[in-house]
């Protein structure tokens, strides 16, 4: 069983709308949690990083939250743009990187 589960598997939203992606993990303890964005045909690129003691971290229109008690993280995207269409991957680090399967986001005009 994967130690990092993401939901939904895919999501379609209209340009300008907000959305929230979920990540549940069982990796414990962990040193940090990252959200990566992977455009089609590209390698993943880090968006945010949080240690276990941080609750929220923002990067422009992206805001990640972390609840270490419930072992959940979310990535909120505000005012979505067409260029946000990509896969978003949650990665939990403890000696090695544990990847989720990703959420495929499609932003339509």
Q: Which residues bind other proteins (CB under 8 A)?
A: 4, 31-32, 34, 41-46, 49, 89, 91, 93-97, 99-102, 104
Shortest separation between residue 68's beta carbon and other proteins, angstroms = 16
Q: Are 15 and 80 in contact (CB under 8 A)?
A: yes
DSSP β-ladder status, 10-14 and 45-51: unpaired
Distances (CA, A) of 60 to 4, 39, 47, 57, 84: 25, 18, 10, 10, 12
Choose between 15 and 99: whose C-beta lies nearer to other proteins. 99
Shortest separation between residue 108's beta carbon and other proteins, angstroms = 20
Choose between 35 and 84: whose C-beta lies nearer to other proteins. 35
Supply 108's token pair. Answer: 């339509």
Choose between 28 and 31: whose C-beta lies nearer to other proteins. 31
């Amino acid at each position: 069983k994967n130690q990092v589960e993401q939901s939904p598997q895919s999501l379609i939203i209209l340009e300008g709308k907000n959305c929230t992606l979920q990540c549940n993990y069982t990796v414990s303890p962990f040193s940090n949690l990252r959200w990566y964005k992977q455009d089609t045909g590209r390698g993943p690129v880090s968006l945010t990083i949080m240690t276990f003691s941080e609750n929220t971290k923002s990067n422009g229109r992206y805001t990640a939250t972390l609840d270490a008690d419930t072992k959940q993280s979310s990535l909120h995207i505000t005012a979505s743009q067409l260029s946000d269409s990509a896969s978003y991957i949650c990665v939990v680090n403890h000696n090695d990187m544990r990847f989720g399967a990703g959420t495929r986001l499609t932003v339509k005009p």
